[in-house]
A and B are shown apart, each in its own frame.
Chain A
Amino acid sequence: MALEQGGVPTVAVHTNVFARLAQSVARANGMPTTRQAFVPQPVVGKSAAELRAYIDGDDPVNGRPFAQELIAGLTDPLDDADMTGLSFERSTPRLLEPDSEDRLHALFAESGWTDHLPIVLPTEERVAAMLAGTSRAPDETVGRLRPTFYREFWEFTVEKVAVNAVMAGARPEYLPVILAMAASGQSGRSSSTTSQATVALVNGPIRDEIGMNYGVGAMGPYSHANAAIGRAFGLLSQNLQGGSVPHESYMGSQGNFLSYNATFAENEAASPWEPFHVQHGYSPDESTVSLFLGGWYTVFGGGPRETWEQKFTRSLQACDPYTGPIIALDPIVARDFVKLGFDSKQKLIDWCVEHARLPAREFWDNQWVQTLLHPRAVAGIEPYATMLAADPDEEIRIFRPEDIHIVVVGGETGAMWKMLGSGPRRVTVRVDDWR
């Protein structure tokens, strides 16, 4: 669409499963008649002959020959709608039309404003009570969110965040954490086809002040604070960014269980190492929430036992090479690593970086490495350029130190650890700014 504005007639080719999304984006950009042509899904894995058949075949969205659509898109005369585009104001009211409780619950469900579970209706009284959890003004702008980078940003205020916090069943004392998550700019409802989820880690005194669980069952449904904060983040993400609707604003092929909730806290007192937020420049008495856009995979293990190096090496190799892991260690495991000489998180991270290796051929064959990192390598950006220059059989390091995160969490009922997909983007936000 930017090329059209630059005076260049353009046709964008998409696969048919993206039709509704592509048309929705065109409309939101004021160019609803932008020319689009569609081929069948998938393109990935198809041979040249099969893709040539797509070109010779019909557009699966409108049923007309694909090539005819393509040529017509560049050469057919424009009409009035093409010449003006579409301008419109959209507004969302502060309050909905008063109605019965049952009908309002139905409205929220049918409008896609829930996570398909019952919500607490955000009455004026409940929202006012929630707002007591922060000193910030209700009409203060918190930030902007969008489902993915090519979509439009929607803005929101403190009050709008409080509305979604009420819906999730949160308590006012949780609101500073929820506001910090909302202010991060990181959505909990990314529309990526890879089915990203956003993992959230809370550090600092706020954990105990609001009763977060970082002990037994910290990553499960065993804490009202963990559960409600995580749910609030999901609801506010979908509602404040303009929706999370399959085929329109959500394209995750498989979805992600962690989208329901992936919020937990670090067990700082039981950890032999400095807390995560202190590693990243905050003081121990500051409270933060760190968000990791990813959450694609989980690898599990126990130990460290006699063969831990082999187990860890295989586990790191099993992680997606595009995104390094959050290594979540029970305190027992963390202390055992100290006995093995890892007296800092950084030493264990460095060990992982050194041992997480794959043959260059296998690394570059990964779909997301190929799509997202290969162009950087070709452009000469390090370390990717050197990795690309490696012999295909050479075992290359797949992660950088900043790609791997170590967190201590758990209640010491077992020497267990997990490697969770962290994703390509991490942001840490001060909770104290939102008290």
Chain B
Amino acid sequence: MNRKLAVHDPRGYPPKVTGKRLAPRLESLSGKVVYLVDCLFDNSDVFIGQLRDWLGDRFASADLRLIKPRESWVDDPDMRARIEADGDAAILGVGL
């Protein structure tokens, strides 16, 4: 039982990971356009609605905009383009 065996590694080949930087942060949400992205999971619209109300009470000058992707579990380039075009920040929820 002490004989040493050479065996194969059963794992596949992972891709190389390339570091990506975060976007510059804001000084404040006041006066900014903040997109609240409803990820379309069950009941996430209620959560996002509550979050909008909470933020609205504290950042009255923020422009809080609700937005949804065209489908759940699917990337929506049009939605991203819209947020990138006129949004200052985004909050996604609830889900991955």
Q: Using CB atoms and an 8 Å cutoff, list the residues of chain A in contact with chain B.
A: 1-15, 18, 21-22, 25, 27-31, 33-35, 39, 43-48, 51-52, 54-56, 67, 70-71, 74-78, 82-96, 98-102, 104, 108, 113, 121-124, 127, 145, 149-150, 152-157, 159-160, 163-164, 167, 235, 239-242, 367, 370-372, 374-376, 379
- Checking A13, A47, A87 against B91 with a beta-carbon cut-off of 8 angstroms, the contacting residue is A13
Nearest-neighbor residue (CB-CB) of B77 within chain A: A2
Please tell me if B61 contacts chain A, counting CB pairs below 8 Å: no
Most chain B beta carbons < 10 A, residue from A10, A22, A86, A159: A10
Given A3-B90, A31-B22, A379-B71: A124 in contact with B6 (beta carbons within 8 A): yes
A33→B96 contact, CB < 8 A:
no
- Checking B4, B25, B83, B89 against A99 with a beta-carbon cut-off of 8 angstroms, the contacting residue is B4
- Checking A2, A28, A152, A371 against B80 with a beta-carbon cut-off of 8 angstroms, the contacting residue is A2
B95→A14 contact, CB < 8 A:
yes
Cα(A286)–Cα(B73), bound, Å: 35
New contact pairs (11) apart from A9-B24, A54-B47, A156-B13, CB-CB < 8 Å? A2-B75, A7-B23, A8-B90, A11-B92, A12-B96, A29-B20, A30-B19, A52-B54, A75-B26, A94-B8, A164-B10
- Checking B6, B25, B83 against A75 with a beta-carbon cut-off of 8 angstroms, the contacting residue is B25
Per-residue CB contact flags for chain B residues 50-89 toward chain A (1 = under 8 Å, else 0) read: 1101100000000000001111110100001001100111
Q: Using CB atoms and an 8 Å cutoff, list the residues of chain B in contact with chain A.
A: 1-29, 34-35, 40-44, 46-47, 49-51, 53-54, 68-73, 75, 80, 83-84, 87-96
Cα(A95)–Cα(B9), bound, Å: 5
Nearest-neighbor residue (CB-CB) of A119 within chain B: B10
Given A4-B23, A375-B68: A90 in contact with B17 (beta carbons within 8 A): yes
Cα(A76)–Cα(B47), bound, Å: 24
28 A-B pairs with C-beta separation under 8 A: A3-B80, A7-B23, A8-B35, A8-B90, A13-B51, A14-B95, A30-B17, A31-B22, A51-B47, A55-B51, A71-B29, A78-B24, A82-B21, A84-B21, A85-B18, A87-B18, A87-B19, A88-B16, A89-B17, A90-B17, A101-B5, A121-B5, A123-B7, A154-B13, A155-B12, A155-B13, A163-B9, A163-B10
Q: Which residues of A contact B68 (CB under 8 A)?
A: 375
A25→B14 contact, CB < 8 A:
no
Given A78-B25, A371-B41: A92 in contact with B9 (beta carbons within 8 A): yes
A28→B17 contact, CB < 8 A:
yes
Taking the closest CB of chain B, its distance from the CB of A128, in whole angstroms, is: 10
Taking the closest CB of chain A, its distance from the CB of B40, in whole angstroms, is: 6
- Checking A43, A113, A375 against B71 with a beta-carbon cut-off of 8 angstroms, the contacting residue is A375
Q: Which residues of B contact A371 (CB under 8 A)?
A: 40-42, 72
Q: Which residues of B contact A31 (CB under 8 A)?
A: 19-20, 22
Nearest-neighbor residue (CB-CB) of A87 within chain B: B19
B96→A18 contact, CB < 8 A:
yes
Nearest-neighbor residue (CB-CB) of B41 within chain A: A371
Nearest-neighbor residue (CB-CB) of A45 within chain B: B43
Taking the closest CB of chain B, its distance from the CB of A321, in whole angstroms, is: 15
Cα(A239)–Cα(B80), bound, Å: 33
Cα(A87)–Cα(B21), bound, Å: 11
Cα(A34)–Cα(B22), bound, Å: 7
A52→B50 contact, CB < 8 A:
yes
Q: Which residues of A contact B88 (CB under 8 A)?
A: 8-9
Given A8-B90, A379-B71: A102 in contact with B9 (beta carbons within 8 A): no
Cα(A76)–Cα(B95), bound, Å: 23
